[in-house]
Structure 1
Amino acid sequence: MCHNVDYFSAVKAFIQVVEAGSFVKAAQTMNLPRNTVTRHIQTLENHLRVKLLNRTTRRISLTNDGIAYYERMVRVVDQWLEAESDLASAQARPHGRLRVDMGSTMATMLVLPALPAFQKRYPELQLDIGVSDRPVDLLGDRVDCVIRGGTLNDPSLIARRLGSLKFVTCATPQYLAAHGTPLQPSDLDVGHQMVRYFFAGTNQRLPVEFVRGNERITVDAPYFVSVNDSNALLAAALAGMGVLQTLQFMAEPHFQSGALVQLLEDWSLEPNPIYIVYSPNRHLSTRVRVFVEWLVELFEAKGLR
């Protein structure tokens, strides 16, 4: 059996080769000679007495044993590195990789534009940001935390509320000139069309709801186009494809420029609560903790708390 330090280095090399897709790229990432990476993999396979990788001159692929070993060890190495990060003065200088998943609107309009300030504060962190609205398996997908809106249905997860996002109803001046201005939600049923949102996977359309005091109205407005992405929803409305119900912070710049006009201001939709969610079966790492605190500051600065 190889020594623990060599074994750990070999495991890290194996994971890097799998994720990089080649020995050369893995060696470059690890700043090691290619022969050293090759020797690490050979040491690991000799120790385990199994073949982990199929190698050809053009590509590498995992064997069945390699797949099983990778899925187990990648989590072990993550936890190992996380423990080292936390213990090695990580409170002052957190470092390592943080895997986050969030919706496209949150990513493109809030988080990504503000990231330079986060990098300046924590330059040794590295963010892998998945952009999707699909449900995420925190452990299975190796994600540290997710940002999600609405009702959380999994009581086994820990969630911290970041803030809430208000909705508005709007359309372009050109659309309103052609179709008239709706004065009541029911007006949308006749002579109007909306840009609608549907959920990827189920293809169910998001209900169009309006609230005023104790009144709640659901409108099944006709549409020409529906999409499953919030940024695409806004783009379709800006193209004049119909009345839009969207988040206020997305529409605000277009209100100011005159590209969109707010409608039915007496009617609203309940604000959408936004949470950052992580698994309870692993301690809240310093990397996650500083990211959460930064998000709270960001929401406060944007007036979204």
Structure 2
Amino acid sequence: MTRHFDDLQLGSIELFCLAAETGSFTRAASLAGVTPAAVSRSVARLEERLGVRLFVRTTRQMRLTDGGHNYYEQCRQALTQLLDAEREVTGGQRVPSGLLRISVPTPYAHYKLLPLLPAFRQRYPEVHLDIHASNRNIDFVEEGYDLAIRGREPADSRLIARRLEEAELVVVATPAYLARAGTPLTLEALAGHECIQFEMPSTGRTAPWSFNVAGKRLELETTGTYTCLDDYLATVTLVKSGAGVMQAYRFTVQKELDNGELVEVLATFGGTSRPFMLIYPHARHVPLRVRVFIDYLIQAGVSPPAAPCA
């Protein structure tokens, strides 16, 4: 293997990452035990080697350029992998530790994942969790995430997908709305109702509703004057407020169905579901903190009480 980096260059990369994380050459120097001038020289060497500016510096602030941000994300990931490999080889990673970054959709975060995390932290107190609760797709390499949970299998063959569960879908409304607008008994009847929509961030299209018709799955486009973007739980809040009917994951509305706040409709066409997948990049070396978290989720079955976090 051809050698591409000497010790000075690797040290420069570490100091650059410290400067990016702290936003200051002085603070980075203090943490590294060197002078601010040494940090400045290291960054200058990298900029000369790469032929790009990594920071925009003024008398008041310092920030990464777009190129600097991309370079930092990949350098941080590479340095973390080197550290994990060293710990594993020397036995220092017998105890999982370090930062674990997870991206998860809002309904799954609030009703499934977040309630499991305190027990995980009790078991592995040296693992720190950075949780991105959003329905926006993320880029593992660019944004430095270790794991993601998504409602579909990834198209990218470089990613591994493990099925966590099949989440049942159910159409619901409040008793007050049904008293006012009537109860739909057929799929055709939905055309006369206020069907609350959710726009999928990945496609910019509203999500179709899924039904079981004579043993076959039917994807049905519905219409309505309410469309929620990005936050899926906004649709649940709307339907609980009597705005209309909504097809939701059962786990997000089970409490309200049990106490009568919501009523299931079109149950004869129910029984369909959508998968939730645990997704992570292919890698020869998977950090121990990632491996134990994957095992924890699989063993837990991701089935805590169906109640959102406050």
TM-score per shorter chain, which class? Answer: 0.7 to 0.9
Deviation at 1:134, TM superposition (A): 3.0
What is the alpha-carbon distance in structure 2 between the residues aligned to residue 79 and residue 42 of structure 1?
25
Q: Which residue of 2 aligns with 1:175?
A: 177
8 Å contact 2:169–2:249 — kept in the other structure?
Answer: yes
SS at structure 1 position matched to 2:255: helix
What is the alpha-carbon distance in structure 2 between the residues aligned to residue 115 and residue 145 of structure 1?
14
Q: Which residue of 2 aligns with 1:152?
A: 154
- 1:66-77 correspondence runs (5 A): 66=68, 70=72, 72-77=74-79
Q: Which residue of 2 aligns with 1:268?
A: 270
What is the alpha-carbon distance in structure 2 between the residues aligned to residue 132 and residue 55 of structure 1?
32
SS at structure 2 position matched to 1:284: coil
Q: Which residue of 2 aligns with 1:259?
A: 261
Deviation at 1:135, TM superposition (A): 3.0
SS at structure 1 position matched to 2:135: coil
Distance 1:198 1:33, change over 3 A: closer
Q: Is 1:203 equivalent to 2:201 in the alignment? A: no
SS at structure 2 position matched to 1:278: strand
Q: Which residue of 1 aligns with 2:237?
A: 235
Deviation at 1:162, TM superposition (A): 1.5
Distance 1:281 1:54, change over 3 A: same
Q: Identify which of 120, 126, 131 aligns with 2:122.
A: 120
TM-score (normalised: structure 1): 0.83
Distance 1:149 1:210, change over 3 A: same
Distance 1:269 1:46, change over 3 A: same
What is the alpha-carbon distance in structure 2 between the residues aligned to residue 48 and residue 204 of structure 1?
43
What is the alpha-carbon distance in structure 2 between the residues aligned to residue 257 and residue 214 of structure 1?
30
Q: Identify which of 293, 296, 305 aligns with 1:294.
A: 296
User: What amino acid is aligned across from residue 212 of structure 2 in structure 1?
Assistant: V
User: What amino acid is aligned across from residue 245 of structure 1 in structure 2?
Assistant: Q
User: What amino acid is aligned across from residue 146 of structure 1 in structure 2?
Assistant: A
Q: Which residue of 1 aligns with 2:188?
A: 186
Q: Deviations over 1:132-155 (max 9, x none)?
A: 323332223222121112243223
Structure 1: segments with no counterpart, 5+ residues: none
Identity rate, percent: 32
User: What amino acid is aligned across from residue 198 of structure 1 in structure 2?
Assistant: E
8 Å contact 2:160–2:281 — kept in the other structure?
Answer: yes
Distance 1:206 1:78, change over 3 A: same
Q: Which residue of 2 aligns with 1:104?
A: 106
SS at structure 2 position matched to 1:266: helix
Distance 1:261 1:85, change over 3 A: farther
What is the alpha-carbon distance in structure 1 between the residues aligned to residue 160 and residue 101 of structure 2?
16
What is the alpha-carbon distance in structure 2 between the residues aligned to residue 63 and residue 203 of structure 1?
29
Deviation at 1:34, TM superposition (A): 8.6
Q: Is 1:38 equivalent to 2:36 in the alignment? A: yes
What is the alpha-carbon distance in structure 1 between the residues aligned to residue 191 and residue 47 of structure 2?
69
With 154-163 and 288-297 compared, the bigger mean Cα shift is at 154-163
Output the aligned Cα RMSD: 3.1
TM-score (normalised: structure 2): 0.82
Distance 1:112 1:267, change over 3 A: same
Q: Which residue of 2 aligns with 1:135?
A: 137
User: What amino acid is aligned across from residue 160 of structure 1 in structure 2?
Assistant: R
Distance 1:88 1:276, change over 3 A: farther
Q: Deviations over 1:204-246 (max 9, x none)?
A: 1111221044244444433120113211110111111111111
Aligned residues: 297
